[in-house]
Structure 1
Amino acid sequence: MYFAALLARTEDGWEASDTELDDVETLSDLTDLAREASVDDDTVLVYIEQEDAWFGVVRVDGEEDPRIYVSDAAAAARSSYGEILLTDELLGRDPGDDTVADLDSLDLDGTEDGESENGSEDDEEDGVDPPVKGEIVPPGPIGDREVLVDLGVNEKELLALDSTDALSEIAEVLGAAEVLEAVR
């Protein structure tokens, strides 16, 4: 189950609205959606979560490029909404480059070509899915860990957030808990 919300800063505090992402296909679409919710080009936070799996925060400040943080890139990569956030730039890939080095041929773990660490020829027999070319995504947090620092959530606190209540904790620090709860 997914939940997405927009938190827009205004002169009077924060305004919250839940949002449907059905028509959002790219980060550019998501950024445009955030800018539409902005008052006087002020900060808008887009929050997306997949229950108990991952969450992402996209910060849009006026016409600046969006800043992105994703709590678990590997989990988000398995989600259509997560894929929107995992841009080539965020993943450290060249734009448009769908090729990833053949990890087996690099022999990074000291095994023979095509052999797993336990000596088996086929990782699938051991219940481990082999890497798929073009879909290597690192596990764990990725992106701008300082995306919320000036709003009161430092890097350490952001990394410690649990996917099940991260939005509530962020909203509490922002002073937006009540307006967020009204749309949830």
Structure 2
Amino acid sequence: MIRLVYRSKKESQTDTELNDQEKAIATNAYRLLDDWKTPLGMKKDGSFSEEDFSSWLELTKSLCNESGHFEVALTHIGGVLVYSPPDLDGLWINEVVADALYSKDADKMRRGFTLKLLNSRGGHWVDPTGQPVRDLAVKYRLQAEDVENAGYQRFAASIRGLSDSYYRDAERIIAEHQQVDMEL
């Protein structure tokens, strides 16, 4: 799917125009990637195979690195990892998945993960108190602390960055509404 939507970094950037069928295929492939909610390793019975996930991830990294689609593939993979199950030992995310998101080469995966979390909020009403936004900030701050305590500092930093952005949003919302109230 990645190859249908994105050009390889190994190919020269040409302005070749896609025909209507190629555009439709690319559009449908993108929709499929964007709507992807089942991480590899999830079984129909709801269980998660850490071995299947790990072997799929390594194969995908290898193939996408060869094809010139490594970074964009990692971004999409990170997005689907939002839907990973909790770990059986109590962590809010499976530890094998957390370890994959912690790895040094996973910057794009962590970015895809946090972007999917940010975008999963969807449309919402802006509460002038900023409380719903603060609630999200607290939720992600606690999740960051949990994964940091489990030893996944790079992953924790990404989640903490999302939490910080929600704290800033809450402050902005409150300040904007206070200014509007003062003007009235």
TM-score (norm 2): 0.24
The answer to which structure has the higher helix fraction is: 2
TM-score (norm 1): 0.24
The answer to which structure has the higher strand fraction is: 1
Relative contact order, CA 8 A, sep 6+: which one is greater? 1
